Structure 1
């Protein structure tokens, strides 16, 4: 399944740094991410991680101190990358001069970069497994998620919404951001059901059609805060 939403976004491992110490750090993070995604925090073994990384057990103590810190840094790295993708998408739309930015383009571009890394590539499904395991068996404090991705994206998206809808209050903007993101997040969990029209009873089960619906629904709601009653263009696909 592939979302037809534009250029593919892949969460690929970063290129190793020429420094051997940073190279080991990178290999440990890559290996730990794969093992944690497959087995979860408790079942993941230090020796399995170091074996995949091609280094000894002492390397984890040297670079991260312990298994808990390694787990935290795996998430921190990915959360920062997702945060940057989303903020860059917002800025691309808002910095566009001609034609000027609109709610439709803002929400469509945000939806694309939100969903693409999570549902389009098989290797990125490991990221969803990692997040799902953490949601069901928490080992991270909420501050990591809040500080690394939720608050920065919330603030930048909220600023963009208030620029496009000056009558929108800060609270309304924040709630709008989270309502939109919640719909997109739910979609990542039902993509397999979307592919079988018999599961959900849909006449048009395409995932990109569902994304379009979410964007239209969200923009229509946001426009109530703008005093803008212009209808969304009719679906022509």
Structure 2
């Protein structure tokens, strides 16, 4: 599924091939968001991009690779792996890292840009997975999930591969999924005010951070009770305990 994109010249400006690929990806994103992977055609995508009918095969080796590229692009509009790696490598506390993870995702999903084709495409993929879901999860989601899992494991006081971390990740991600798949008008009707302004979005981030952190601390206390450990959270840098599997 390699994408044929020529390198940029030394000037740093996109090459003609890169510009064509970007135009094609933008048109494809709109079509995929409207019709889904199964009903979209290379012909329609090329027509919308104003390009030759063979462009999909030339630039992306086929419609499947093009769809994979649009999904990856869409997911990176929410948050990139580079941003998460920077957070993970910082000297901030685990709680501050948790907020730093949540904040850009919520800002993106709660903003007017959530109506863009990128968010509509991801919503469609969540609700009706395509044949490329496994490759997409492996390439885009799992690396980001690992970084989040490391922070959650530190907060709870367990190793990152402990099953409790997976359950906790679900608790963290679930509110973001609601924002991702919700129609903006319906969301405003059901919960007026939570995303109506930048200030309200920041309050939502504050709320989610407090809510999620409190839940993780409750899980940590439960884990500590199970292991018979003292009811104190592990300090950053302390080796996590290994729990016995039931």
Could you state the TM-score of these two structures normalised by the residue count of structure 2?
A: 0.68
By how many angstroms is 1:145 displaced? 3.1
Show structure 1 runs of 5+ residues with no match.
1-14, 230-237
Q: Deviations over 1:153-185 (max 9, x none)?
A: 121112223344434663222321222011221
Q: Deviations over 1:40-67 (max 9, x none)?
A: 2344343332133232011112122322
Show structure 2 runs of 5+ residues with no match.
1-7, 196-200, 222-230, 234-246
Partner Cα distance (1:129, 1:73) in 2: 15
In structure 2, the CA distance between the partners of 1:94 and 1:56, relative to structure 1 (3 Å rule), is same
Aligned to 1:88: 83
In structure 2, the CA distance between the partners of 1:81 and 1:131, relative to structure 1 (3 Å rule), is closer
By how many angstroms is 1:219 displaced? 0.4
Give matches, 1:41-190, under 5 Å.
41-80=37-76, 82=78, 84=80, 88-89=83-84, 91-92=86-87, 95-96=90-91, 100-103=92-95, 105-122=96-113, 125-167=116-158, 170-171=161-162, 172-190=164-182
Could you state the TM-score of these two structures normalised by the residue count of structure 1?
A: 0.70
Q: Decide which structure has the larger Cα Rg and report it.
A: 2
| Of 194, 205, 216, the match for 1:222 | 216
Q: Deviations over 1:180-234 (max 9, x none)?
A: 01122113344544423xx35x7xx4243444333222101211316458xxxxx
Give secondary structure in 1 for the equivalent of 2:43. Answer: helix
Partner Cα distance (1:148, 1:175) in 2: 21
Q: Relative contact order, CA 8 A, sep 6+: which one is greater?
A: 1
By how many angstroms is 1:152 displaced? 0.8
In structure 2, the CA distance between the partners of 1:76 and 1:164, relative to structure 1 (3 Å rule), is same
What RMSD in Å do the two structures reach over aligned CA positions?
3.1
Partner Cα distance (1:160, 1:193) in 2: 33
Contact kept, 8 Å, 1:115 with 1:188, in 2: the verdict is: no
